[in-house]
Amino acid sequence: MTAKDLEDLEYFKSLLLEKRTEVLQSKVIEMSAVEQNANSGLLKYPTHLADLGSDTWGQDLSSYFNARTGKYLKHLDDALRRIENGSYSICVDCGGKIHRERLEVVPHTRYCISCKAKNRRKLSIKF
């Protein structure tokens, strides 16, 4: 491994850690706001059926975003593990090198651009 490769790995490791920290901090802020609202009495039982529907929709949306956030954190953690075990920037499908430009945009990716496009085409055919 060249000095440039090691430098790149350090760069992407810090980028991944930064993104992970941002996600966790936004989660803490969100949880704090929910707790503040609960303590201030702003969260109450709806008295009208339309309010109940709005509350339910809001909870569903919140659950969806929480699931996406959890999935994103898992991808970031997996990428950090790949850096540690030496498999970062290697496509899991073809074994080829993932170009730096792609990693700049999606640092947690496991696929080179060709394999990702191929996988998307496979998914679109299934539906």
The answer to whether the CB of 98 falls within 8 A of the CB of 28 is no
Per-residue model confidence as pLDDT tens digits over 58-70:
566 566 667 788 8
Q: Which residue type sits at 46? A: P
* Least confident interval from 14-18, 35-39, 117-121, 122-126: 35-39
Per-residue model confidence as pLDDT tens digits over 79-94:
999 999 999 999 999 9
Query: Taking all residues of the chain, what is their mean pLDDT, rounded to a whole number?
Result: 81
- Residue from 65, 76, 83, 78 nearest 106 by CA: 76
Task: Check whether 76 has a pLDDT greater than 90.
Answer: yes
Per-residue model confidence as pLDDT tens digits over 4-27:
889 999 999 999 999 999 998 887
pLDDT at 50: 58
- What distance in Å separates the CA atoms of residue 76 and residue 70, rounded to the nearest whole number? 10
- What distance in Å separates the CA atoms of residue 34 and residue 81, rounded to the nearest whole number? 32
pTM of the model: 0.71
